[in-house]
Amino acid sequence: MRYYDTHAHYNDEKFNGIVDETLNECMSVGVKYINNIGYNIESSKLAIELSNKYKECYAVIGIHPSDVGKCSVDEVEDLYKNLNNGKIVAIGEIGLDYYWVKDNKEEQKKLFIEQIELANKLKLPIVVHSRDASLDTYLTLKEHPAKYGTLLHCFSPTEDLVRLVIDNNYMVAFGGNITYNRAKSFQRYMDMIPASQIVIETDAPYLPPVPLRGTVNTSKNLPIILEKLSEYKHMDVEELSKIVYRNSLEFFNIKE
Ligand SMILES: [Zn+2]
């Protein structure tokens, strides 16, 4: 089976000095593509550098809501203009995070909207991070739609968000979070979301799937995530692997 890790951070310091060997291990289990996701200017730059160095790696650049006030959207645009190597496939991870900081909601929304507008200008899709902020994420995306595609990363379904995803043909990505204990409603939401709108991710080095919690997560754990997804979708793993792989290539506009 072939895998596309749509969301990883080999630009994270946890991988300093071990990127070569780690990526080799991942390729040996069938990982063909990896998106390295930026969360500020420095990490976005590193994501682009990794995409220069490794043919499997693509870059997603942007400012995470936790970095609000620390960097500007103009800097993201400059990165794109100065370092564009044809492998910057989206703007992300952008969005809202009310788990860590709750007193800067308006600044977070402003930064989110500015980056949606940048993505529209550059004709790129967006990769969205939303934590403890599903209603505001819903409202922002409704009022400020991304024209070239929306992917909700580490998707944690709610009634509103699932509706939004289905009505607007958004993509959702599941990672290790799908293997954690889930509320009963999770299966119902999984039944509602068509396989054609699902991709997989690891969020490496974070969010390792069960039973590997507490370890450094890498893309070689994608088979565990896919297996769990196939149980929820009541689909054959091999068939599902082909669908999510193709979905990923299409969403990020990658021609094999
Ligand atoms: Zn991430």
Query: Does residue 256 sit within a domain?
Result: no
Classify residue 165: in a domain, yes or no.
Answer: yes
226 C-alpha to ligand 1 centroid (Å): 18
- Cα-to-centroid distance, 34 and ligand 1 (Å): 13
Per the listing, tokens 């954690």 go with: 180
Residue 71 backbone phi and psi in degrees, to 5: -145, 160
Rounded to the nearest whole angstrom, what is the distance from the C-alpha of residue 221 to the centroid of ligand 1?
16
Q: What angle do CA 237, 90, 220 make, to 5 degrees?
A: 35
The domain spanning residue 96 has which CATH number?
3.20.20.140
Report how far ligand 1's centroid is from the alpha carbon of 135 (Å). Answer: 20
Q: How far is the CA of 147 from the centre of ligand 1 (A)?
A: 22
Residues of the chain with pLDDT under 50: none
CB 229 within 8 Å of CB 32? no
Is cis: bond before 93, omega within 30 of 0?
yes
Q: State in Å: Cα 209 to ligand 1 middle.
A: 15
* Residue 78 belongs to domain spanning: 3-251
Residues with CB in 5 Å of ion ligand 1? 203
Question: Maximum distance among all alpha carbons in the chain?
Answer: 48
Contact 58, 34 (CB under 8 A): yes
Per-residue pLDDT at 102:
82
The answer to whether residue 223 sits within a structural domain is: yes
Report the sign of the C-alpha dihedral through residues 160, 92, 12, 175, in that order. Answer: positive
What separation in Å is there between the alpha carbon of 152 and the centre of ligand 1?
11
Q: What is the pLDDT of residue 100?
A: 85
Query: pLDDT digits over 69-128, tens only?
Result: 999 999 999 999 999 999 999 999 999 999 988 899 999 999 999 999 999 999 999 999
What is the model's pLDDT at position 172? Answer: 98
**The pLDDT of residue 182:** 79
Cα dihedral 67, 70, 71, 72 sign: positive
Q: What is the pLDDT of residue 234?
A: 97
Q: Which helix (H) or strand (E) holds 117?
A: helix 105-122
**Ligand 1 centroid vs 118 CA: distance in angstroms?**
20
Q: Is residue 220 part of a domain?
A: yes
Q: How many domains, the chain?
A: 1
CA distance 248 to 93: 16
What tokens appear for 169 in the block? Answer: 């043909």
Q: Render the burial of 20-34: b for 16+ CB within 10 Å, e for the rest.
A: eebbeebbeeebbbb
- The token pair that represents 243 in the structure block: 């669908």
Q: Is residue 103, in this structure, part of any structural domain at all?
A: yes
- Residue 101 pLDDT: 81
Q: How many Å lie between the centroid of ligand 1 and the Cα of residue 145? A: 21
**112 within some domain:** yes
Helix, strand and coil content of the chain, in percent to the nearest 5, comes to 50, 20, 35
- Residue pair 118/76 in contact (Cβ under 8 Å)? The answer is yes
- Please check whether residue 117 lies inside any domain of the structure: yes
